[in-house]
Amino acid sequence: MKKLLLILSIFSIMSLVAEEILIEPKVSRFAPELDGKYDSAWFEVESYEFSRIGFDGLVKLRSLIHGDSIYFFLEWKDETYNKFHKPWLWDGSKGTYTVGPEREDTLVMRWGINIDNERINSANDVWMWGSVRTNHGHADDLYEIVSKKPLQDSIKKKDFDGKDYYLKSQGDVGDRCWTTLFDKTSFWLNQRYNMSKPTASRADVRTKAQWSDKDKTWTMELKRKLITSNFDDVEFVWEQTYYFDISKELLGNAHIVHNISLFDDGLKPQDRNPLILTMPSRPLEENLPKEESKKPANNEKN
């Protein structure tokens, strides 16, 4: 009986440990067009499917490396295309503008990074895409720092064990890819955001997404250099592994990567099928892919 109970206990513990999802980018001779559409560059790239907090259905992801850059192709279900974000609406009874309920569609990728500061337990490089503010060529590049002690301008949160921690989010060095101009008439006419060109480290992540009314699906491509040499960015090094996660909200759920918990020595994998990017071995210089003509594009997916 004791032996049986021991076996059952071990089985119960094992059942609580979710399986890691290992994603290895393909070194490719082809570079995607970065238009949010599935083209020939992705034809021979493996597709990974997994569930994530807040998504209706599975998220699909592909990744490839071409030249000095890494690319991602993502697909997820979304019944509606939200074309407004916090629009101003005139309230005649109050004689003033109020913020409307509409919010843009979003997708956020988080990457664990190290920042040399004794007050910081961990940090994340954050790439945020939004259907209104950041679908014009660039994602918003930010970073988060996490501490068990209060930080200036931080938000008090709880980890998965119910313990307090403090989060501070801020943009990377440089200008973001959108502005709000109060002196423009358009600011008060439903759309309050104007597109602008990001600069410095905040301009690192290129992206474009398309929504299909037929399939009720977003498809999105992202591109970033493997190495940016910026302190607030994750650096993709050959043969290294990286914990990351994908969410639909920047400020929802936990502000840390959703599959990890805060421990004394930082953030560690916990459950919910941790996502791990495993960088391949660097090809020999003479074997590095060179640009080739793409195969004829079609709509068929692997």
Which are the contacts of 47, defined by CB distance < 8 A and separation ≥ 6?
A: 60, 61, 62, 301, 302
Query: Does residue 248 surpass a pLDDT of 90?
Result: no
In a domain, 4, yes or no: no
In a domain, 197, yes or no: yes
Alpha-carbon torsion (123, 260, 42, 56), positive or negative? negative
In a domain, 99, yes or no: no
Q: Where are the beta strands (DSSP E) in 178-216?
A: 178-179, 194-195, 206-212
Query: Does residue 165 surpass a pLDDT of 90?
Result: no
Task: Give dist(CA 54, CA 248) in Å, integer.
Answer: 6
Alpha-carbon torsion (96, 97, 99, 101), positive or negative? positive
pLDDT tens per residue, range 141-163? 999 887 888 888 888 887 766 77
Question: Are 23 and 237 in contact, with CB atoms under 8 Å apart?
Answer: no
Lowest mean pLDDT among 3-12, 17-26, 271-280: 3-12
In a domain, 296, yes or no: no
Residues forming a β-bridge with 276: 22, 243
Per-residue model confidence (pLDDT) at position 287: 52
> What is the identity of the amino acid at 300?
E
Per-residue model confidence (pLDDT) at position 144: 87
Q: Which H or E element spans position 242? A: strand 241-247
Per-residue model confidence (pLDDT) at position 45: 97
In a domain, 111, yes or no: yes
Query: Does residue 113 surpass a pLDDT of 60?
Result: yes
pLDDT tens per residue, range 218-238? 999 999 999 999 988 999 999
Task: Tell me the CA distances in angstroms from 216 to 56, 57, 109, 123, one per residue in order.
Answer: 11, 12, 21, 34
Residues forming a β-bridge with 15: none
In a domain, 149, yes or no: yes
In a domain, 28, yes or no: yes
Q: What does DSSP assign to residue 209? A: E
CATH code, domain with 246: 2.60.40
Per-residue model confidence (pLDDT) at position 63: 98
3-state secondary structure at position 2: helix
> What is the identity of the amino acid at 100?
G
pLDDT tens per residue, range 119-142? 666 788 999 999 999 999 999 999
Range of the domain at 193: 17-80+105-284
How many separate domains does the chain show? Answer: 1
In a domain, 1, yes or no: no
Per-residue model confidence (pLDDT) at position 74: 98
